[in-house]
Chains A and B, each alone.
Chain A
Amino acid sequence: QVQLAESGGGVVQPGRSLRLSCTASGFSFSDYGMHWVRQAPGKGLEWVAIVAFDGINSEYSNTVKGRFTISRDNSKNTLYLQMNSLRAEDTAMYYCARLSGSQSFDYWGQGTLVIVSS
Chain B
Amino acid sequence: SHELTQPPSVSVSPGQTARITCSGDALPNQYTSWYQQKPGQAPILIIYKDIERPSGIPERFSGSSSGTTVTLAVTGVQAEDEADYYCQAADSSGTFYVFGTGTKVTVL
Contacts and interface: CB of A to CB of B under 8 A. Distances in A.
B86 A45 contact: yes
A104 B88 CA distance: 8
Interface residues on A, range: 20 to 34
A76 B42 CA distance: 24
A26 interface: no
Contacts of A35: 97
A102 B99 contact: no
B43 A104 contact: no
Given A45-B86, A108-B43, A110-B42, A102 B98 contact: no
The listed residue with most B CB atoms (<10 A of its CB), out of A35, A45, A110, is: A45
Contact of B98 (A47, A104, A105, A109): A47
Given A102-B33, A103-B33, A44 B97 contact: no
B46 to A, nearest CB: 10
Interface residues of B, number: 29
A104 B54 CA distance: 11
A104 B33 contact: yes
A37 B37 CA distance: 14
A59 interface: yes
A25 interface: no
Interface string A13-55: 0000000000000000000000101000000111100100000
Interface string A82-118: 0000000000000100001011111111110000000
Contacts of B37: 45
Nearest to B41: A110
Contact of B45 (A37, A45, A106): A106
Interface of A: 35, 37, 44-47, 50, 59, 61-62, 95, 100, 102-111
Q: Which 7 pairs across A and B sit closest by C-beta, in order of nearness?
A: A104-B33, A104-B48, A44-B102, A47-B97, A45-B99, A108-B42, A102-B49
